[in-house]
Structure 1
Amino acid sequence: MGFVSKALILIAILTCLTSVAHAIRGQATFYTPAYVPSSCYGYNDHGIMIVALNGRLFGNKGACGRRYRVRCTGGTNAGVPHPCTGKSIVVTAVDLCPGCADNQIDLSQEAFSMIANPDAGRINIEYDQ
């Protein structure tokens, strides 16, 4: 294997590792069914592993169909101090969350429940596309 090939493989590996290392920190809440209609797909149902994005991420429907890996990193209130399950999930963007701040996403209730205790209501997260 030549030097150029080895260099390209090394660059590809570093690129993959860099994207994992740069997860975005934020917060997540959840919304409850019915999940249709959605801003992206109208009455076309896209299941329960879905997310509504803040306006910055949503980008005027530019994010429709994008998938995000989300992991709970901790609670935001003393009522449920350790809400995280230790799991991560992959959700698909289907909607706009008009009330979400720039660092916030709104998961379906089922998706939220897979990574955290729903009693927490709001959690700290890391996510990436």
Structure 2
Amino acid sequence: MFAKFTQITAAAVAAVLAMSMTTEAAPATSQALARRNVGDATFFNPGLGACGIFNTDADMITAVSSSFFDTFPGATPNPNLNPLCGKPISVSANGRTIVVTIVDKCPGCVGQDLDLSPTAFSQLADLSVGRLHGVTWNFI
């Protein structure tokens, strides 16, 4: 009888731990999705990205900083399963706003910096600018 009581207690503890982990993860993701992000934007020539999708210069896509990508709530060792993959974001600079999809991570970016496809960047500024400062972006 004592062994059964121990098993029930272990199962109950496991259930409580699972519920507390679930309730803690949801707010972190919601907070991360709701915040306004500010950083620099550059452009790159896409190919096969961290999300496992092949893209071209003509696609309206972006890479976020590796640190943002790798530490986003729900990130796993397999980057193809990162919850950021496929998320659309609204990016604003120079009085213009575009919508791009996250498909990659940028090792040379920091914080909330973005690396846009040439087509996306060119809708915010001429490619000759190279880097935009104070770009704001939000999840949509």
Question: Hey, what does 2:43 align to over in structure 1?
Answer: 30
Q: Which amino acid aligns with 1:71?
A: S
Moved >6 Å (runs of 4+)? none
- C-alpha contact 1:97 1:106 (8 A) present in aligned 2: yes
Aligned counterpart for 2:107 among listed residues 98, 112, 115: 98
User: Which protein has greater RCO, CA pairs closer than 8 Å, 6+ apart?
Assistant: 1
Aligned length: 94
Q: Which protein has the bigger helix share? A: 2
Aligned counterpart for 1:65 among listed residues 75, 82, 86: 86
Q: Which runs of 5+ in 1 are unaligned?
A: 1-18, 73-83
| Residue 36 (structure 1) shift | 2.1
Structural RMSD (CA): 1.9
Q: Normalising by structure 1, what TM-score?
A: 0.64
Structure number with larger C-alpha Rg: 2
Equivalent position SS for 1:70 = strand
Give the Cα–Cα distance (whole angstroms) in 2 for the partners of residues 42 and 25 of structure 1.
26
Equivalent position SS for 1:115 = coil
Identity over the aligned pairs, expressed in percent?
34
Q: Normalising by structure 2, what TM-score?
A: 0.60
Q: Which amino acid aligns with 1:127?
A: W
Question: Hey, what does 1:80 align to over in structure 2?
Answer: none
| Residue 42 (structure 1) shift | 4.0
